[in-house]
Structure 1
Amino acid sequence: MSLTTTPTSAPPESPRSPVARFIDVAARGHRSIPVLVVLAIIWIVFYSQSPAYLSFRNITNLTLQIATTAILALGVVFVLLVGEIDLSSAVLSGVCAALAAGLAVNSGLPLGLAIVVAILAGMAITLIEALVITFGVPSLIVTLGGMVILQGLILVVLPPEFTVSVAGTPFAKIASTAIPAGTSYLLAAVATLAFAAYRLYQFRERLSTGTRTSPIAVLIPAVVAGVVLFGGVFILTRQRGLPMPVLIVAVMLLIAWYFTTQTRYGIHLYAVGGDREAAQRAGVPVRRMVLYSFLILGACAAVAGMIDASRQLGVSVTSGGGPLMLNAIAAAVVGGTSLFGGRGSIWSAILGALVIGSISNGVQLLGLTTEVQYFATGAVLIIAVAVDVVLTRGSLWPGRR
C-alpha cells in the first residue's frame, strides 16, 4: 500500500488593515511631504497672528537665522544615515570659529587660509572621534565626551579675554555680503539649465537601455526647480540682494545631493545605515564610510561656526552652545532622516531647519516667551521620532506587524 501525501496549501494571509497599508505607503513614499504640510501649517498659524511674518524682510531674516542650523544639520544627516549620532558638533563649530577668527583677526593670517585651517581642524577632530567609534565605542558616548573636551578646548583657543571681535574685518563680510539681484537671477538660470540638462542626460540613458520613460520626467522636475530657484531669488533679493550664507547653504546642499544620490558613495552610505552586516558581506567598506560621514560633519561644523561668528560679529565661550546642537539634530530628524539609519535625504537638513527656525522666528516676532519655543520645538521633535518609529516597524503598536 502506497502512502500519498496531499500538499497542504498555505493559509491565506489575513487582509491588512487600511492603517497598516497607509503606513507601508508612507514608509516607501516621500517623507518630505508631511514636513512641507507641517511647515505650511506653522506659517499659516503665525501669519494669522502677524501678517509681517511672511513679509519679504522677515523671510530673509528667517533664512539667515537658519543658515547655521541647516549647515550643521546637513553634517548630522550624514552621520545619522550610517546609523550613528553626534553630540559634539555644535561645540566643535564654536572651536573652529574661534580658531579661524583668531588666525584671521589676531594673527593677521589671510581670511581664505584661516578658513581652510579651521575646516581641516574640524575634520581632524571628528576623524579622531570616528576612529574611536569604529574601534567599538558607542558614538553617543564618544561624542558626549568629545563635547565636554571641546568645551575646554575653546577656552584654550580663545585669547585671555575669552572673546574675539570680528566687527569691521573681512571675516564679518562672510555673512553681511549680499549678491546683486542680476547676478542672483543669472545663477538661478544657470542652475536650472544645468539641472534640466542633467535630467535630459538621464532620460537619454534610459532610452538607450530600452527603459520606457516619458519626457514629462524631464520637464516637470526642471520646471519645479526653476520655479523654486527663481521664486527664492525674487523673495530674497527684495532687500539688499541674495545673502551670502544662503548661497553657501544652497551650494553645499547641491554638492551633498549629487554625492548621495548619483555616486557609488551614496549607495554605500545608505547600505551601511540600512543593514551594516549585510553591507559588510557585500564588500562595502563600512568603517571607511563611517569615517567619511564624520569627516563631512567636521567640515560642516566648521563652516556653520564661521558663518555664525560672522553674523554675531564675534566669538566667545558661548559660541556653539545654547540650543544649537538640539536644533541641528531636531532639524535632521524632523526633516525626515531616520534615527535608525539608512533612510532620509540631505534635503532633510533644510526642511527641518525651516520648521525649527519658523517656530523660533514666529515666537520672537509675536513676543512670546522662550518657554513656548522650547515646548513647541520639543513637541515637534518627539512627534517626528514617533512617526519614524511607526514607519520603521510598520505598525502603530509595539510587537505587531
Structure 2
Amino acid sequence: MSTHKAPAPTTAGEQSTPLLSRLVEGLSGRYRSIPVLFVLGLIWLYFYSRNSAYLTSTNITNLSLQIVTTAILALGIVFVLLVGEIDLSSALLSGVCATVTAQLAIKSDWPLWMAILGGVATGLVFVLAEVLAIIFGVPSLIVTLGGMVILQGLLLVVLPPEFVINIGGTDFAKISSTYIPSGWAFVIAGVGWLLFCAARFRAHRERGAAADSSALVSVGVPAVLCGVVVFGAVAVLGEGRGLPLPVLILVAMLLIASYATSRTRYGTHLYAVGGNREAAQRAGIPVSRMVIYSFLVLGACAAVAGIIEASRLLAVSNSSGGGPLMLNAIAAAVVGGASLFGGRGTVWAALLGALVIGSINNGVQLLGLSTEVQSFATGGVLILAVAIDVVITRGSLLPNRR
C-alpha cells in the first residue's frame, strides 16, 4: 500500500510570496540603502542639469562641510532610534555644548582639548538626566521636548551678556579651517581601505565559506566598490586645499560606530532591544542599560556636532543649535534608512540621509531658489521616507484594515 500522502490544501497565507512582498522584505534588510542612493543620484543629476557647477570639486567640498554637523547629529539619533526611542533636544544641546566649550577655551583660557572635553561632558550629563526620566517610564518624546525648552533657557544662561562669543582667529576656529594635504589623505584612505578588506575577509572566514565564488562576492566585490568610493571621494575633496578635517572626524566616528554596532555584543543587544524589547528582556539583555548607552552616544555626538558647527560659523550665539538643524538631523536618520519603530538601520544611514538633505539644500542655494522650496523638498522627502518605513514595517503595500 502506498504511503504517499496528498498535499494539504494551500491557504492564502501559505502561498508563495508575491514579488512586491519580496521586494519589501529585501528593502528591510541589506538593500535598504539602494533606494536612498538612487534618489541621491536623481537629485545630483537634476541640479547638475540646471547648473554644471553643482558637481565641481569646489561645490562638493562645500557640500561635505555643510553636512558634517547634520550627519554627526544624525549619527547620535540613529543610536536612539535603534532602541525605539526619539530625541527632540539634541540640536539645542549641541548649541549649549559649543557655548560651554567657547566659554572655557576663550573666556577662561583653558587649553582647547580640555575645553572640548568640558563641552562633551556637558552633553553627557544632560542626556543622562533625560534618559533617567525615560527609563523611569516617561515617554522620550515628552522628556526631550521638555529638555528642548530647558536648553533654550540654559543657552541664555551660559552665554555672556552680549549673547555672542566670537571665536575667529583662535585655535577653536582652526577645527573647521584645517585641511589634510592630499598625499596624507590618500595614505589615510589606503589604511582605512586595507582595514575594511581585512574585516571583510575575517568575516568571510568566520562564516566558514570556502567556495572561491563566495569569497569573490563577499570580499572582492565590496572591496572594489569601497575602494572606488573612498579613493574617488578623496581625489575629489583633495583636489583643492585638501581633505577637510571635519570630514575626516565624521568618517572616523562612522567607522567606530559601524564596528560597534556590527561586530560587538553591544551591537547585537542594541538591535535586539529595538526589535522586541520584551523578548530582549526575557533573553537577559539589560534593556535599560542599552537605552542609557544609546542616549550617551547621542550626547557625545551632539557635543561634537555643535563644536564643529561653531568652528565653521566662527561664533556661538543665542541661535546656536536652532533653525532647521533638529528637523534635518531627524530627517537624515530616517531618510537614510533608520526605522522610527526601532531595530532597523545602520549608522551609515546618517551619512546617506545627510547627503540627501544637504544636496537638496545646497542645490536650492546654488540655483538661488527661495527657502520655501528648500522646506517643501525637505518635508516631502521626510514624509516619503517615513511612508516607506511604514510599508517595510507592515510588510505590505496595502493599508491596515480596521
Tell me if both proteins adopt one fold, taking TM over 0.5 as the criterion: yes
Tell whether the 8 Å contact from 2:105 to 2:111 is kept in structure 1 after alignment: yes
Other-structure match for 2:146: 145
Other-structure match for 2:261: 260
Distance in 2 (CA, whole Å) between partners of 1:254 and 1:320 is 25
1:178-231 deviation per Cα after TM superposition (whole angstroms, max 9, x unaligned): 000111011011111111222222333334xx7657321222222222221111
Other-structure match for 1:236: 237
Other-structure match for 2:228: 227
Distance in 1 (CA, whole Å) between partners of 2:303 and 2:10 is 58
Structure 1, unaligned runs of 5 or more: 1-5
Taking the TM superposition and a 5 Å limit, the aligned residue runs for 1:1-400 are: 9=8, 11-13=10-12, 14=15, 16-207=17-208, 214-216=214-216, 217-399=218-400
What amino acid maps onto 2:11 in structure 1? P
Tell whether the 8 Å contact from 1:335 to 1:350 is kept in structure 2 after alignment: yes
1:38-58 deviation per Cα after TM superposition (whole angstroms, max 9, x unaligned): 000000000000000000000
TM-score by length of 1: 0.95
Distance in 2 (CA, whole Å) between partners of 1:191 and 1:347 is 16
SS across alignment from 2:86:
coil
Distance in 1 (CA, whole Å) between partners of 2:23 and 2:32 is 13
Deviating more after overlay: 122-131 vs 390-399 = 390-399
What amino acid maps onto 2:215 in structure 1? P
Q: 1:101 to 1:271 in 2, by over 3 A?
A: same
Distance in 2 (CA, whole Å) between partners of 1:385 and 1:348 is 14
1:351-395 deviation per Cα after TM superposition (whole angstroms, max 9, x unaligned): 000000000000000000000000000000000000100111011
Q: CA deviation at 1:9?
A: 4.2
1:160-182 deviation per Cα after TM superposition (whole angstroms, max 9, x unaligned): 11110000000000000000011
Q: Identity of aligned pairs, percent?
A: 64
What amino acid maps onto 2:187 in structure 1? L
Tell whether the 8 Å contact from 1:206 to 1:212 is kept in structure 2 after alignment: no
What amino acid maps onto 1:302 in structure 2? A
SS across alignment from 1:28:
coil
Distance in 2 (CA, whole Å) between partners of 1:397 and 1:123 is 42
Tell whether the 8 Å contact from 2:166 to 2:316 is kept in structure 1 after alignment: yes
1:288-335 deviation per Cα after TM superposition (whole angstroms, max 9, x unaligned): 000000000000000000000000000000000000000000000000
Structure 2, unaligned runs of 5 or more: none
Distance in 2 (CA, whole Å) between partners of 1:26 and 1:346 is 16
What amino acid maps onto 2:185 in structure 1? S
What amino acid maps onto 1:224 in structure 2? L
Deviating more after overlay: 197-206 vs 146-155 = 197-206
Distance in 2 (CA, whole Å) between partners of 1:116 and 1:27 is 38
Distance in 2 (CA, whole Å) between partners of 1:297 and 1:43 is 30
SS across alignment from 1:35:
helix
Distance in 2 (CA, whole Å) between partners of 1:163 and 1:49 is 38
TM-score by length of 2: 0.95
1:99-121 deviation per Cα after TM superposition (whole angstroms, max 9, x unaligned): 00010011100000000111011
What amino acid maps onto 2:282 in structure 1? R
Deviating more after overlay: 25-34 vs 239-248 = 25-34
Distance in 2 (CA, whole Å) between partners of 1:218 and 1:105 is 49
What amino acid maps onto 1:244 in structure 2? L
SS across alignment from 1:315:
strand
Q: 1:185 to 1:15 in 2, by over 3 A?
A: closer
Q: 1:147 to 1:258 in 2, by over 3 A?
A: same
Deviating more after overlay: 194-203 vs 372-381 = 194-203
Q: CA deviation at 1:23?
A: 2.1
SS across alignment from 1:193:
helix
Q: CA deviation at 1:94?
A: 0.1
Distance in 2 (CA, whole Å) between partners of 1:296 and 1:218 is 30
SS across alignment from 2:172:
helix
Distance in 2 (CA, whole Å) between partners of 1:366 and 1:9 is 63
Q: 1:191 to 1:28 in 2, by over 3 A?
A: closer
Distance in 2 (CA, whole Å) between partners of 1:182 and 1:284 is 46
Tell whether the 8 Å contact from 1:73 to 1:332 is kept in structure 2 after alignment: yes
The CA RMSD over aligned residues, in Å, is: 1.7
Q: CA deviation at 1:346?
A: 0.2
Distance in 2 (CA, whole Å) between partners of 1:298 and 1:347 is 18
What amino acid maps onto 1:236 in structure 2? L
Other-structure match for 1:3: none
